[in-house]
């Protein structure tokens, strides 16, 4: 009888301890739809493609509070048509590098000749519009 009482008391104590140790608050915090902010290069940056080193890397960076969002890096010759621009998928990266060769091909796609200076517009597109958005478009001055 003492053993049965002891076992019953032990299970009751463990049950109460288990119920009292449960957290009532949710540790998962969903930030919801968040804006994307362009950080680098800054507005009106002048980039000169080094034809002697076409493997040079050119950095593009943006931030958002939400993690694991897929992005496209956009380039356009006209600010109003940025959504119909050349799109480079970046995945979930927020720090994206383009080689001089790739940048040269983008400029060739816009019919910009070697040695010519042109103004391009760049932005990012959030692939899933429920995750966020980017309204900012920056100017990039490039010498091919």
pTM: 0.74
| 14 within some domain | no
- What is the domain extent for residue 67? 34-143
| 26 within some domain | no
- pLDDT, residue 55, reads 84
| 5 within some domain | no
- Sequence-distant (6+) residues with CB within 8 A of 50 are 56, 100
Q: What is the CATH number of the domain that holds 106?
A: 2.60.40.10
User: How many structural domains are present in the chain?
Assistant: 1
- pLDDT, residue 34, reads 86
| 17 within some domain | no
pLDDT digits (tens, 9 = 90+) for 71-81: 999 999 988 88
Residue 62: pLDDT band by 50, 70, 90 thresholds?
very high
| 28 within some domain | no
For residue 10, pLDDT over 90 is answered with: no
């Amino acid at each position: 009888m003492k053993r049965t009482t002891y076992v019953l008391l032990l299970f009751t104590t463990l049950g109460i301890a288990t119920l009292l140790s449960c957290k009532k608050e949710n540790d998962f915090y969903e930030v919801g739809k968040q804006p994307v902010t362009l950080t680098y290069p800054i507005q009106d940056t002048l980039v000169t493609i080094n034809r002697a080193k076409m493997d040079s890397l050119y950095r593009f960076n943006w931030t958002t509070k939400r993690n694991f969002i897929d992005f496209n890096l956009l380039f356009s010759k006209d600010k109003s048509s940025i959504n119909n621009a050349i799109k480079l998928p970046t995945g979930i990266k927020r720090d994206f590098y383009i080689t001089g060769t790739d940048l040269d091909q983008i400029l060739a796609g816009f019919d910009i000749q070697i040695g010519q200076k042109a103004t391009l517009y760049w932005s990012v597109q959030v692939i899933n519009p429920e995750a966020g958005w980017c309204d900012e478009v920056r100017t990039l001055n490039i010498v091919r």
